[in-house]
Structure 1
Amino acid sequence: MKIVIPDDYQDAVRHLDAFERLAGHEVTVFHDSVTDLDALVARFQDAEALVLIRERTPITAALLDRLPDLKAISQTGGGTAHVDLAACREWGIRVMAGTGSPHAAAELTWGLVLAAMRHIPEEVANLRAGRWQRTLGTGLKGRTLGIFGYGGIGRLVARYGQAFEMKVLVWGREGTRDRAAAAGLEVAGSQAELFARSDVLSLHLRLNEATRGIVTAEDLARMKPTALLVNTARAPLVAPGALEAALRAGRPGMAAVDVFEEEPLIAHPILELPNLLATPHLGYVERDCYEHYFGDAFDNLLAFAAGRPVTDLAAAG
C-alpha cells in the first residue's frame, strides 16, 4: 500500500517504534505543510492511504476530487473536524480515528502556568545576557485556578492545581458542572464569575460550533490585570482578535498559548507582545503521546489493508 504522512515537522515519525509496523509498505513522509490545492494534489496523487497528524492538513472535497487512488484516511487522535466526511463517504474513502491521551497536553499546560507566573523564559534570557534577577514572579498557593471545561485534560489540570494548594473553580456545560461538583470542586455561578475570579484561567473545551468564540472580549475584560489566561485547547475558542486586544489593554495581564488560528504560525503581531508566552502547538508533541497516536493510526490502517473490520467515521456520518 502507498501511504503518505504529511506535516511531520520534526522528522519524528520514522524514528518511532510504531513506525516499524508499516514495514513492507511504501511510505512517503513530508516534513512541512502546504496549503495550495495543486501542491497538495502533487504530494498525495499516488497515495492509497493518508496518515494525518492531528488537524494539520484540511482534507476538503476539492482535494478528494483529484485523488482517485485514495482509499483510506487514518487519523492520529480522535478529531476529524478537518476532514470532509461527506465527501469521503461520496468517494468511498474509509476514515478511521484512534484514541487520545490527556496527559501530555495537561503537563504542557502546567508547564506554561509555572513558566508564565514565575517569568522563567524571560529570566533564562536575562541570565544568558548577563542580567541578574529582573522580574518578580507570582506564586500559586492560595490563588484561584479557573477551569473552563472539565473533561479529561481539565480534570488533570484541576488536580495539579490542588497539588499546588490552589482553589479550583470550574465552569462549563451542565455535565461539566455536575462532574466538578461530584468531585468536590467549587462551581462558578456563571461564565462571567469564572473570568472575574480566576488568577489563572485555563481553557479545556472541545472546538465545535457551540464553543467557537465562546470566550468573548467582554469575558477577557472581566479578568484581573494580574491574571493569566492559558489556552492549550484551540485558538478559535476565543473570539477573533479578542486576545491580542485584551493583552494590549492589560486584562488579563498575561496569556500563555499553545494554539493559533493559523498554523504553522511564523510571524504575527501578537508574538511580539511582552505579556504573551507562546509555544508552537506542543500539547501532544511528546514521545509517549506520539507512540500512542501513531500506534493507533497504523494499527487501524493495517486492519483496513488486511480486510479486518474497522470503524468508518465517514459511513457513520
Structure 2
Amino acid sequence: MSEKIKILGAAGIPKEMVERLEQEIGPVEVLSSDSEEEIIKAIQDKQVFVVRSKPKVTAHIIQNAPQLKVIARPGVGTDNIDRKACEERGIKVVNTPEASASSVAELTIGLAIALLHYIYPTCHSLKEGKWLKGEYTGKTIEGKTWGIIGFGGIGRRVAEIVKVLRAEVLAYDPYVPDEEFTKRGIKRITRLEELLEQSDIVSIHVVLNQETEGMFSEEVLHKMKKGAYLINTSRGKVINQKALGKALEEGYLGGAALDVYEVEPPMDQELLSLPNLICTPHIGGSTEEAFSNATEILVRKIKEIFHIKETAPLGS
C-alpha cells in the first residue's frame, strides 16, 4: 500500500506507542479528550483508531468514520467498542491479550498478598505514627485453595505463580479444552458453585459479555466460603458492587481487592472506604513491559491487515 495510513489515537495512549506507529505505519493524531464530538471530527480521514478501555466507540462514531478500517486495542477488553456496528461496516477489531498477561497476573498476586498480610492498613497506620504490630495477624497463600475463574492467558499465568506459592489451584472455564488444564497440572472444576465453595481465594479473569456481566450477584457471592477473599482484575461489571459492599460490611467475606469498577472512575465512596477492601485505579496492564509488548503486537497486526512489509534492518 503506497499511501500512508492515517491513525487516530485515543487520549492517553503512550508516547512510545505513538512514535512506533508513526515510524512503522503512518502519522498519528492524538485526541485531547474522549468526547464523541471530537472523535467524529478527527476520525474523518483516518483508517485506524487506536483506543484503550476508553473512549466508548459507539455505532454513531463508526457510522461517521467513512475511511475507518481497523480499531486497535492495546490490551484485552473490547467491551467499549460496538462490535456489531464494526461487523456491519467490515471494520476489523484487533487487541493484544497476550501483551499484559504477566502484568495483570502479578498485580493479582500482589493484591492477594496485600489482603492476607494487611499491608495497606499497617502501612497507613505506621505513617500516622501508630505501631500496631500486635493487632494484625495475617495469613499465608501457602496451604490455601485458590480458585481461578477464566483460564485464558492471565488466568494461566496466575496459576503458574500460585503453584509456586504452594497453594492448591482450581480453575473454572467452560470454553477452554481439557488439555490446557491437564498439561499445567491444574484441577478443572466444571461448576462455578463448586469452585466457590472450595476456594479460600478467588480471582476473576474473564472478558465482559452478556454471560459474565453481573456474574457475581449477591446470591453468587454467598456461595463463596465465609471469610474468603475475592480479587477482580478483569472487568468491573462482572461484580455487583452493591452486593459486594454488603458482603464485606457484614463480614461474610474476609476481604476483596478491585482494580476495575462498574463505573470508572468509581463513584461509590462508601464501598471504597471499607477497611477490608483494597482498591487500585485499573493499573493491571499499566507497566512498561505491557505497553512495549502491546505496541509490538499492535504494529504487527495492523501491518498484516494493510499488507505492509517489514522494513529490513540496516546491513542486511
- TM-score when normalising by structure 1: 0.81
Aligned residue number for residue 192 of structure 2: 191
Q: Secondary structure of the equivalent of 1:145?
A: strand
Matches of residues 1-317 of structure 1 in structure 2 within 5 Å?
1-8=5-12, 13-15=14-16, 19-23=19-23, 25-30=26-31, 34=34, 36-45=35-44, 47-53=46-52, 55-77=53-75, 79-91=77-89, 93-98=91-96, 100-101=98-99, 102-133=101-132, 134-173=135-174, 175=176, 179-181=180-182, 183-188=184-189, 190-239=191-240, 241-265=242-266, 268-302=269-303
Q: Displacement of 1:249 after TM fit? A: 2.4
Unaligned runs of 5+ in 2: 310-316
Q: Distance in 2 between matches of 1:149 and 1:213?
A: 15
Partner Cα distance (2:198, 2:140) in 1: 16
Report how far residue 192 of structure 1 moved: 2.2
Q: 1:68 and 1:285, CA in 2 relative to 1: closer, same or farther beyond 3 A?
A: same
Contact 1:226 1:254 in 2 (8 A): yes
User: In 1, are the aligned partners of 2:21 and 2:27 still within 8 Å (CA)?
Assistant: no
Distance 1:182 1:94 in 2: 33
Using CA pairs below 8 Å that are at least 6 residues apart, which structure has the higher relative contact order? Answer: 1
Report sequence identity in percent. 30
**Contact 2:96–2:298 (CA<8 Å) still a contact in 1?**
yes
> CA 1:223–1:87 in structure 2 vs 1: closer, same or farther (change >3 Å)?
closer
Unaligned runs of at least 5 residues, structure 1: 309-317
Change over 3 Å in CA distance of 1:241–1:46 after alignment to 2: farther
Check the 8 A contact 2:49/2:72 in 1, yes or no.
Answer: yes
In structure 2, C-alpha distance between the alignment counterparts of 1:44 and 1:227, rounded to whole Å: 47
3-state secondary structure, aligned to 1:229: strand
Question: Pairwise CA RMSD of aligned residues?
Answer: 3.0
Deviates more, 1:293-302 or 1:282-291: 293-302
Partner-residue secondary structure (3-state), 1:241: helix
CA distance in 1, matches of 2:10, 2:274: 32
Which residue of 2 is the match for residue 315 of structure 1? Answer: none
State the Cα distance separating 1:177 from its structure 2 match. Answer: 5.9
**Is the contact between residue 97 and residue 153 of structure 2 (CA under 8 Å) also seen in structure 1?**
no
Using the alignment, how far apart are the partners of 1:297 and 1:189 within structure 2? 34
User: Aligned in 2, Cα 1:237/1:178: closer, same or farther, shift over 3 Å?
Assistant: farther
Aligned residue type for 1:22: E
CA distance in structure 2 between the partners assigned to 1:116 and 1:239 by the alignment: 20
CA 1:42–1:121: 2 relative to 1, 3 Å: farther
Measured against aligned partners, the alpha-carbon deviations of 1:145-170 in whole angstroms (never above 9, x if no partner) come to 11222222222212222211112223
- Secondary structure in 2 matching 1:68: coil
d(CA) in 1 for partners of 2:177, 2:212: 14
Cα distance in 2, alignment partners of residues 283 and 216 from structure 1: 23
Distance 2:252 2:177 in 1: 26
* Contact 2:31–2:38, Cα closer than 8 Å, also in 1: no
From the superposition, tell whether residues 216 and 291 of structure 1 become closer, same or farther in structure 2 (CA, over 3 Å): same
**How far off its partner does 1:62 sit?**
1.1
1:86–1:225 distance in 2 versus 1, CA, 3 Å: closer
